[in-house]
């Protein structure tokens, strides 16, 4: 009898808990809809939502095509709540104007593969791109079921309708060629003495290209009968100690092993260990482009190299590295930690 009463009580408590949660959800969404309706009645009284509840407002109609599945899209966006408080943007000047600028954030147009299982988009943004033409500027007003729902996001509260202003720059149908075009522009602007066509041919063949290279002076022990050459070729399976600074083609630093560089750049992290990376040539644990580059260099040297994305972070990118992003690395190559011939 006691057991039966306990089970009934537990069921009743669970029902109360569920009812309470359901009431909280309903009230949260109901309040949001009231705020959204009030906002629309003031700002866009003649705009009707789509079947899903998305509001789509054209600010400047483009002349391009609509994106298709598999296309890569480049666009800037700024997100704000219904109080017009900006919580996120890809535009540096807007971030600074709204006091959300961060030196650790890379401000550049978003670049992603559309309608791909590995590309995660808000439902409202995904739907919005079915209407947007290349070259358009639009405003999407997205209720929470098509945005972040009952979750908080940055400065947004649960059940927040968001406003996304989209500046849709272009559709990229051939990302490989687009990457090579970016490299060509970089070479033309920064290395006018190089022949662009020769660089592109070499990087297509090798995956990397040495832009600058110099040997580091190393003191030699003159008491040795046969002084060791500090500048030797690097081979497969060698373990090399190397410091690095990684940049995008616009010179923005996304990573470094050098504490002073991070501090100067305003991206120092106290939780990160700043020390030379030990790279096993041909090994794993870092991008393939490191091994490809180091095999073209000598120990105790400094170099600046460019690495194709297929030997770095590829067609999907990683963290703040976008798809098909060629990388610039400044390398300070030290001595071999372990030589392949000694194994």
pLDDT single digits (tens) 94-109:
999 999 999 999 999 9
pLDDT score recorded for residue 299: 92
Q: Is 159 found in the same domain as 208? A: no
Q: What's the CATH number where 307 sits?
A: 3.10.50.40
pLDDT score recorded for residue 2: 41
pTM of the predicted structure, to 2 decimals? 0.85
Contacts of 128 (CB under 8 A, 6+ apart): 54, 56, 138, 140, 142, 164, 166
Q: Of residues 11 and 254, which shows the higher confidence score?
A: 254
The verdict on residue 13 lying in a domain is: no
Render pLDDT for 46-87 as a digit per residue (tens, 0 to 9).
Answer: 999 999 999 999 999 999 999 999 999 999 999 999 999 999
Q: How confident is the model at residue 198 (pLDDT cuts 50, 70, 90)?
A: very high
CA distance 107 to 93: 9
The verdict on residue 300 lying in a domain is: yes
pLDDT at residue 220 greater than cutoff 90: no
pLDDT score recorded for residue 231: 87
Per-residue b/e over 61-100, b at no fewer than 16 CB within 10 Å?
A: ebeeeebeeebbbbbbbbbbbbeeebbbbbbeebbeebeb
pLDDT score recorded for residue 95: 98
Q: Is 123 found in the same domain as 184? A: no
Q: How confident is the model at residue 219 (pLDDT cuts 50, 70, 90)?
A: confident
Q: Of residues 233 and 2, which shows the higher confidence score?
A: 233
pLDDT score recorded for residue 22: 44
Name which of 10-14, 102-106, 115-119, 303-307 the model is least confident about: 10-14
Q: Is 113 found in the same domain as 185? A: no
Q: Is 317 found in the same domain as 214? A: yes
Furthest-apart CA pair in the chain: how many Å? 96
Mean pLDDT of the chain: 90
Q: Is 164 found in the same domain as 188? A: no
The count of structural domains within the chain is: 2
Name which of 9-23, 57-71, 110-124, 234-248 the model is least confident about: 9-23
Q: Is 121 found in the same domain as 243? A: no
The verdict on residue 302 lying in a domain is: yes
Q: Is 323 found in the same domain as 200? A: yes
Q: Is 290 found in the same domain as 161? A: no
**Size of the chain in residues:** 343
Render pLDDT for 85-96 as a digit per residue (tens, 0 to 9).
Answer: 999 999 999 999
Interval 162-168 mean pLDDT: 98
CA distance 78 to 95: 9
pLDDT score recorded for residue 58: 97
The verdict on residue 331 lying in a domain is: yes
The verdict on residue 1 lying in a domain is: no
63 is in which domain, residue-wise? 29-172
Considering 8-17, 59-68, 230-239, 311-320, the range whose residues carry the highest mean pLDDT is 59-68
Q: Is 67 found in the same domain as 112? A: yes
The verdict on residue 9 lying in a domain is: no
pLDDT at residue 7 greater than cutoff 60: no
pLDDT at residue 341 greater than cutoff 60: no
Q: Is 336 found in the same domain as 192? A: yes
pLDDT score recorded for residue 64: 96
The tokens for 39 are 């906002």
The verdict on residue 10 lying in a domain is: no
């Amino acid at each position: 009898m006691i057991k039966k009463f306990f089970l009934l009580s537990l069921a009743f408590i669970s029902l109360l808990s569920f009812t309470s949660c359901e009431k909280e959800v309903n009230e949260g969404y109901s309040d949001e809809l009231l705020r959204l309706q009030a906002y629309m009645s003031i700002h866009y009284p003649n705009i009707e939502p789509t079947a899903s509840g998305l509001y789509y407002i054209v600010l400047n109609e483009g002349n391009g095509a609509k994106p298709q599945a598999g296309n890569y899209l480049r666009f800037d966006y700024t997100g704000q709540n219904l109080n017009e408080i900006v919580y996120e943007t890809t535009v540096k000047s807007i971030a600074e104007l709204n006091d959300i600028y961060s030196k650790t954030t890379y401000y550049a147009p978003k670049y992603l593969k559309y309608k791909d299982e590995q590309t995660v988009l808000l439902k409202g943004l995904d739907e919005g791109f079915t209407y947007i033409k290349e070259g358009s500027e639009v405003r999407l007003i997205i209720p929470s079921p098509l945005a972040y729902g009952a979750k908080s996001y940055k400065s947004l509260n649960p059940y927040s309708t968001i406003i996304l202003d989209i500046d849709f720059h272009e559709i990229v149908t051939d990302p490989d060629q687009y990457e090579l075009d970016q490299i060509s522009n970089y070479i033309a602007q920064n290395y006018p003495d190089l022949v662009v066509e020769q660089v592109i041919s070499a990087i297509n063949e090798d995956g990397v290209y040495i832009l600058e290279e110099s040997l580091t002076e190393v003191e030699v022990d003159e008491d040795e009968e046969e002084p060791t050459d500090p500048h030797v070729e690097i081979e497969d399976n060698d373990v090399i100690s190397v410091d690095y600074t990684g940049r995008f083609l616009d010179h923005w630093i996304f990573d470094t092993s050098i504490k002073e560089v991070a501090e100067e750049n305003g991206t120092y992290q106290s939780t990160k260990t700043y020390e030379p990376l030990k790279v096993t040539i041909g090994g794993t644990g870092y991008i393939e482009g490191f091994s490809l580059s180091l095999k073209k260099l000598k120990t105790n040297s400094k170099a600046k190299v460019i690495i194709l994305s297929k030997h770095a972070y590829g067609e999907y990118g990683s963290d703040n590295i976008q798809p098909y992003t060629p990388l610039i690395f400044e390398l300070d190559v030290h001595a071999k930690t372990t030589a392949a011939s000694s194994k």
